[in-house]
Amino acid sequence: MPAIPTREANWYDYPEYYDIAFRGDTAREAKFIEACCKEYLPTRRAKGPRFRFLEPACGSGRLVVELARRGHDVVAYDLCPPMVDFVNQRLRRRKVSAKVMIGDMRTFQLTRKADAAFNLINTFRHLTKQGAIDHLRATAASLKEGGIYVLGIILIPEDTTADEAYERWTETFRQTRVTVTITVPKIDVAKRYEIMRTSMSVRNGKGSFRLVTDAKMQLYTPDDMRRLFAKVPEFEVVNTFDFWYDIRKPEVFDDRIGDVVFVLRKRSTKRGSAARRTRG
Ligand SMILES: C[S@@+](CC[C@H](N)C(=O)[O-])C[C@H]1O[C@@H](n2cnc3c(N)ncnc32)[C@H](O)[C@@H]1O
């Protein structure tokens, strides 16, 4: 069988295929985000039924479109122009509205604040440690008091090795079949980074090709997250879940946890001095 043509490229520049790879969990994630609002927002706002959402690093906008379609007011941003163009085209095509623009997680702040923000599937690990602190502060500043940030990330135990980090799945949409294989050719646990290699094979009616992307990703242990959150007292952790997104089944945040969804809540500025300090 002839080898499939392969090129090095940034897979985020190909939103139509990225979107197919991740579309499977979208409805479940959207329902979980709504359930978090009902459970953790202050009582007067928890009823909704309409929430104002912010999605940092929205990628292909699968959740933007789903939540806008469910009647919510959604603002989102991403650093990658092809992703932002793709979401805006899709919104137009689906005749639903949301505001989607170019923005950087380290700096983006909303003026009209949101009830809730969400950032799933490990996107947070694109940020360096300082970038993560800046991002959490900017996101807290974008939320109303008592607002929540639903943050999904895969943590590592101290003794991780590259051999353990291997993932592969296939999704098909209409005539297009996308297989994603994730490997880790380099890992430095002491320095808390890894090179994540994503190989995305695309087969459709026109032929097939493979894109290979290497990205430097920050690593976090559960203790690293505790230390990080301690630096951003604007937020408190109100609960933790796993990637099954079941609101009835919180997951204990201990040192063995791997896939974790934190529900962070913005503290009241009346009680804490920390949020005042960052604004002043
Ligand atoms: C794994 S995708 C996740 C997309 C989306 N959150 C989802 O659930 O499908 C990661 C996205 O993060 C974006 N990204 C990476 N670094 C960023 C930054 N500093 N600011 C904004 N977006 C960033 C990439 O362009 C990419 O679209």
Within this chain, do residues 34 and 118 fall inside the same structural domain, yes or no? Answer: yes
Do residues 214 and 133 share a domain?
no
Residue where a domain stops, chosen among 218, 243, 258 = 218
129 within 8 A of 218, measured Cβ to Cβ: yes
For residues 212 and 9, is the Cβ–Cβ distance under 8 A?
Answer: yes
Contact 218/128 with Cβ under 8 angstroms? yes
Q: What is the pLDDT of residue 260?
A: 94
103 and 197 in a single domain? The answer is: no
pLDDT in tens, 105-116: 999 999 999 999
Give 158 or 95, the one with higher predicted confidence: 95
Residues 73 and 172 placed together within one structural domain of the fold: no
Testing ligand 1's pocket by substitution, the residue of 14, 18, 80, 128 carrying the most ligand atoms inside 8 A of its CB is 80
Considering 177, 201, 218, which residue would you say is the last residue of a domain?
218
Q: Is the confidence at residue 35, as pLDDT, over 70?
A: yes
The pLDDT value recorded for residue 272 is: 46
Asked if residue 76 and residue 195 are part of one domain, the reply reads: no
Peptide bond before 2: cis, by omega within 30 degrees of 0?
A: no
Q: Per the domain annotation, does 24 fall within a domain?
A: yes
Atom of ligand 1 nearest to the CA of 127: 19
Shared-domain flag, residues 264 and 210: no
- Taking the CA of residue 104 as reference, the ligand 1 atom at the shortest distance is 20
Can you tell me which atom of ligand 1 is nearest the CA of 62?
Answer: 9
Name the residue of 16, 23, 79 whose CB sits within 8 Å of the most ligand 1 atoms, as the mutation to test its pocket: 79
Instruction: Output the CA 106–ligand 1 centroid distance in Å.
Output: 12
Look at residue 77 and tell me whether its pLDDT is greater than 90.
yes
Mean pLDDT across the chain: 91
Q: In this structure, is residue 5 part of a structural domain?
A: no
Tell me, what CATH number does 253's domain have? 3.40.50.150
* Residue 42, CA distances (Å) to 14, 46, 267 in order: 39, 6, 11
In 47-175 the beta strands, taken as DSSP E runs, fall at 52-55, 73-78, 99-102, 114-119, 143-154, 167-173
Domain assignment present for 196: yes
48: its two tokens: 């909704």
CA of 57 relative to ligand 1 center, distance in Å: 4
Q: Establish if 4 belongs to a structural domain.
A: no
Nearest Cα residue to atom 8 of ligand 1 = 120
Whether residues 186 and 70 fall in one domain: no
CA atoms of 220 and 263, how far apart (whole Å): 17
Tell me, what's the pLDDT at 47? Answer: 82
Instruction: Examine the domain organization and report whether 18 and 69 are in the same domain.
Output: yes
Looking at residue 98, its amino acid is A
Side-by-side strand order, sheet with 52-55:
99-102, 73-78, 52-55, 114-119, 143-154, 259-266, 235-241
Residue 277 confidence (pLDDT): 35
CATH code of 174's domain: 2.20.25.110
169 Cα–ligand 1 center, Å: 20
List residues near ligand 1 (CB under 6 A): 12, 22, 57-59, 62-63, 78-80, 83, 104-106, 119-121, 123, 126
> Within this chain, do residues 236 and 105 fall inside the same structural domain, yes or no?
yes
Structure confidence by residue, pLDDT tens digits, 246-268? 999 999 988 878 899 999 999 98
Token pair 């941003």 is found at: 77
80, two tokens:
């990658």
pLDDT surpassing 60 at residue 173: yes
Judging by beta carbons within 10 Å of its beta carbon (0-12, 13-18, 19+), is residue 105 exposed, middle or buried? Answer: buried
Q: What is the mean pLDDT of residues 119-148?
A: 96
The CA distance from 133 to 105, in Å, is 10
- Atom number, ligand 1, closest to the C-alpha of residue 19: 9
pLDDT higher than 60, residue 273: no
CA 192 / ligand 1 centre spacing (Å): 20
Q: Whose CA is nearest to atom 6 of ligand 1?
A: 58
Q: Give whole-number Cα distances, 269 to 45, 141, 144, 147, 219, in Å.
A: 18, 11, 10, 12, 31
Backbone angles phi, psi at 249, to 5 degrees: -125, 75
Domain match, 88 and 163 both: no
What's the rounded Cα separation, in Å, for the pair 161 and 52?
Answer: 41
Number of domains in the chain: 2
Domain assignment of residue 135, given as a range: 12-154+220-273
pLDDT value at residue 165: 64
In the listed set 218, 235, 251, which residue is the last one of a domain according to the structure?
A: 218
CB distance 234 to 269 below 8 Å:
no
Classified as helix, coil or strand, 168 is strand
For residues 58 and 28, state if they share a domain. yes
Q: Of the residues 19, 123, 198, which should be mutated to test ligand 1's pocket, given the most ligand atoms within 8 Å of the CB?
A: 123
Note whether residue 7 is domain-resident.
no
Asked if the structure places residue 49 within a domain, the reply is yes
Question: Does 77 share its domain with 214?
Answer: no
